[in-house]
Every structure is written in C-alpha cells, then in structure tokens.
Structure 1
Amino acid sequence: MDQKRKREINDISTDDSHNIIRKIYRFSFVYSIQKFSLRTEKTGESLTSPTFVTGWKKRSEWCLNETKKLRAFLRFSILNEKEDEENVVDDRKVVYFDKNNGFGIPKFIKKDFLLDKSNGLLVNDKLTILFTGVIAFYKSDNQNNPETPKQVTIPQSKLSLDYGDMFDSPLFTDCIIKIGDTEIKVHKAVLAARSPVFYDTFNTTLEKSQTNIIEIEDFRVEVVREMLKYIYTDEVSNIQNMASEVLVIADKYKLDRLKAISEYSLGNSLTTENVLECLALSDNYSTESLKDCCLEFILENAGWLARTKKWKKFVLAHPLLLERLNCDDSLFFSLPIFLNTSLLTKEISVNQVNTWFFLFLYKSQSFK
C-alpha cells in the first residue's frame, strides 16, 4: 500500500494561548459512489454521504454546538483498484469548525481526468474516496466547570412520590380539611401554591381561616381526597367512577389540569345512559371538548335516544343546547305528542313548552 496512506497525522497546532486541548480523536471514512459516470450533479452541486461515526474508546456520533470549540486536520484521497491512495490532498493547516459550517476541497480533481479509464480511479464505475482526519476539542483555560462524567447516571425524579408521602403523613401539617366527620391534615403552603382559591382563602382575615380548619360540605370524602392527592402529586388514579364530581371540584378550586383530566375521562366513557348528564355538566362548567364529544355521541345514537322519555325531558330542561345539534328530524319531530301529553299531566310548564316550540319552529324552517 502507498506509504502516504500509512502516514500518521499527528500535527495539531496549539498556538492559541487561551485554549488547551481537551481530547483528540483520529478517524477515517471510506465513501463509495456507485455508477459515478451516470451521476447527474452539475459543477457546484453537492452529493451528501451518510452520517459516519468517529470514536475514542467507545463509538459515538458527533455533532457540534455553540459550547464546544473544535479544530480538525483533514486529508482527502481516492483509492484505486489496488486500494492505494491517489490524488492525495493533505491540508496541513488546522481548520476551525463551528455549528452549521463545513470544509472541503473546491478543486479536488478534474472530472475528465477522473473519468479517464487509463488513470484507474474508477473501478467498475465506482469512485472510492478516503477521508482521514484528526479532531481536537478545545477548552478555554479559564473554564472551571469540568465536563460531566459520562459514567454518571441521573436518577429519575421522585418529587411526586415524595410529595405523595408527605400527603399521607401528618408530619408538619398546619391545616385541616374537614368533610363531615372526616378530617384530613394538609399543608397550607402546598395547597396555596397549587390552587388560587386556597391561596385566597389562606390570605383572608376570616375567622374560618384563622382556626386553620376548612370545611368542605358539598363533596364526598373520596372526591376531596382525590383532589388533594392531585394537588400533592399532580397525578390521579381510578377517577372513572367519580369523574363528574372531580370535574366539579376541580372547577371550584381552579385546578385546570385536573378539570381537563376529568373531562377526558368522561369523554372516553360515554354511554346512552350517561351522555345527557355529561352534556348538561359540560354546559354548566364550560367544558367545550366534552360538550363536542356528547353532541357527536348523540348524533350517532339519535334513532335510539329519540324514543326515550329521558331524552324528551332533557330537551325540555335544556332546549338551547339543541341549537348546536345539526341532527336528523327524529330528534325534534318525535316530541310534539309528548309535549301535549306532558302539558296535560302538568309534568312540564307552559313556559317550557313555549321555549321548545320556538326552537322547534326555527328548526322546522331550516329543514325546508
């Protein structure tokens, strides 16, 4: 093999007195281009090689960023049919690299010379380029922070687990949440940091807050406990059976993420039995995503719902919600007989009937 190929590249200039070499990597990369004579690229156009790997002790892929200085000493050549180097360009100067910049040889070889078969540079119409280099990483001598050792493994965060333990422990608590006869000891700082409602409560001068006891009367113990667990850990579990109640308490204490989680749970568990309750809930607590899910579900099951007394009563109680339903006639025109019967039996008021008939006439005109 050509002696020039065996030659080590050892020179890296260090004339910059403000920088010291941190690491040096030597590497080589062989890139073969098949059917070179058929390539359509014109002069000045580029052909990109695959990403190649350099390494020292361990293989690793390299990229540059603004925090590292890098210099390289580069050498280009073409391998002939004997794998000897030809047309060697050994650039003796050190090249600076930074992010998104590259380096190359603009006049590496003439195309006519390369395509001439007598020169033996294209073996079976394949061009093989050998790229050899030395990369040196520099670090300013006034930097005191060493590079993070690669062998250090950073553990997963245990913050939510630790806060969960704090919720389960009475240690250092300074407040009591009282639900009926049940008392749950909590930490004011945690509740105030997570809920603007609790923050305002603890900053008032009311006698209730001065006694460090907060009474919650309109929710079950399980619902309050689930809310407090979320406040401490940012997580929920098994709320499917109480999602509607959790949504309401999340709305009351302005816990937007918990409210969205409850909304998502309800939207994914709709049935013909609960869709009307969920639709009413979405209207009362401004949850548009849940409302859209309910309306879509109603449209898909319009034929069945139109025959139920539950649906007809719901329409009378929430007539304006129907304005967003672009459904078939069955959901509207199945109701007049029910309305007349209900009015006679005093199940509904005249005002309810008038409201519904106004909407009914509006829809009737839209169907024409």
Structure 2
Amino acid sequence: MSPGTTNSSLLPIMRNEYSLDSVCCTRRTLHTFSHMWIVENFSSYLEDPEPIICLSSSPFSPVSGCSVATQWRLVCYPKGNYGASSNYMSIFLEYIKGERDIKAKAEYSLVNRKCELTEMRKDAQFSIYKCGNSRGFINYVKFDTLTLVENETLDDDKLKIYVRITIMDDAITEETKYQEFDDNESVNFTTRGFESLVKDFTQLLLQSTSKMSDIKIRVTVPYGDCNSDDSFESPVTFHAHKLILAARSPVFAAMFSNRTLENTTNTIDINDLHPNTIQSMLEYMYTGKVTDIKNSTVELYRCADKYQLEDLRSQAEMALMNSLSIDTSAEILLLADQHHSEDLKSRVIQFIVSGNLKAITQTDGWHRYVACTPDLVTEVIQATAIE
C-alpha cells in the first residue's frame, strides 16, 4: 500500500441507524387574509385646501383562524401624514378590535385599471400589534404620479388599495405520529403540479395548429355597426380541441355529442362575438384564467353566459361591478337585465340612485340602452322612490 492511501476495507462501517419510541412536532400557523378599499373621486382629495386629510376604510376581519374576532381597517392620508415627505401619500393598517396582542405583517398594493397590482410595499418582518396600534408607510407613493394617465393607476378616478395581512399564531408543540412527508410538503407538491398543468395547457393552446387540433373556431364580425348586412371583416380562425371544449362547457359538450353541423364539419362559426373575446374565452377554458379581463368585460360576460362558463361569468360580473361609472352603468344595467343577473342589476341600480341619477340619464348610454326599455326605467324610478 503506497503512502497516503487508505484501504477502505480497514475503515469501520458507519451506520446511520436509530430507533424512535415517540415523536413530537412544534407547529406555528400563519393565516393570510386580504381586503380591497376603493376610494372614489380620489383627485378631489388632492385638490382639497385642507393640508392634512385622513380617510378610513370600513372595518374588516379575517375569515378563518384564531383571530376571526379581530377587526382591522386601513387609514390613508392622500396628501401625506404629519412627518411625510412632500408629495407622498401615506397608508397605515390599524388594529381596532381584539382581546390580545397580534403578531402580523402587511403587504400593500394599488390595483390599476388592468387589475394588476402595482406600487407594492410590504413589511420586512412581523410586528406586535396592540389594540389601537397602527403601522404602515408614511412615504408610500408620490401622489402627484397617481393622476398621470400613462401610469393607469386611477380607474375612472377611483383609487383601489389592496392589502394582504398575515397573522402569526403562537407555537404549539404536540406529540404526533412520524410521517415521511408532512402536510405542507404535500400541499407544495399539489400546487407545483397545478402550476405545471396550467403551463402545459397554455403551451397547448399557443401551439394549436390545424395538425394538432380537431376543431376550428371561425369568427366573423361586421365592420363598425353590428347591424350591417354586407360589410364583414375577414374571418379570424382559432384552432382548439373538442375534448377540452366539451369538458369545460355544457354547450360544447352537447354540440359534439350529436350530429350537428359543427361536429360534422369540425368548424364552429361565430358572428356575434369579436375575436379578442373568443381568444379570452379559450384562454380561460385551457388555463382557468383571463390575463386582462377588463379589455372586453361586457362582451366576455355575454360569451360566458352563451357557453355556460359559470366561473368565467362570475369573474366578468365582478369586474363589471368594479368598473361601474356614469358612462358605463346604463349598458351594464341592460346587460344584467338581459342575462337575468339579479345581483349585478341590484348593484347597478343602487349606483344609479345613489346620487348619480341626473348625470346618468343625460348620457348617450342611457338613451341607447335604458330609455327605450320601459321596464328598466320603471325599476330605476321605483328604486329612486325607496332611496
């Protein structure tokens, strides 16, 4: 044997063997909940002559966990709190009701007109909140940049503030049975599997061609006026898969289960919806989400109702509620009435009679969509009387 070498057979065999008679586990649960606060006519607060303006949201609470009885609220200073740098808006989270101290941290964002989270600021670590305490950012965002059109932060002069709060419970140690993988790891595997599935189906949609798919959707819409008889754009064709469409929509399932023209020719002709709407519908059917739902919300709602895509209809309905304005309310009211959405109709009528009636009845939308529908006019008048 040469110097410096070792015969491995002479080394003792190292074993990592042990026995377990019992196991305990220390757990700490984190509960996350969120809230969105919409401040209408936000620019009016920036133009107010008062140097310091304080706005407060309504109280909100966690929906689960040990802290469901606690109450919180957001506090906003549009032109800054005392001590804030010039031209900065301040934002705080206040713990307003609870019987014990809470360990929590918060993440603040603004929701722009594309429903994207912007200006994200979050606490670096957990803090102890005593009842009556508030924490946040004095210099949250420069308020003179919020009103710039190119930033797309304000949606019809509405500032949408989104907060996500994480509450840390006390640690608990208890005896448990030994497991190779804990529940959290199982959840992580499930989440990663779902994300991978969405990614793969996104690629399937993007790469669909006449060779890879078995159905094509041909969308033809008229130029300008939808009542035109002979001025049509060139058809836009989408390729898809019958099995996926049928699994997602009862309408497509019935279409492909019978000897319909669409099932025989492997072509679906659509002339009452625009290509962008069909593209958004396919994105939802393949991935469960729509990248920018606000681009065609009204028509996407009609599309979801037509093909009985209930979750997409609910998403579009929520987006419509958030986009209510003096200019859009008449069209949305007619849409809700035509598609028998009582929740959406009630929300629109409440918006109209809550101080906006005069302005809305003077819009082109009112005369185009509502004034010619006596039943809707009657409902608005009756609601006005109650109000």
- What's the TM-score, normalizing by structure 2? 0.46
The structure with the greater share of residues assigned to helix is: 1
- What's the TM-score, normalizing by structure 1? 0.48
The structure with the greater share of residues assigned to strand is: 2
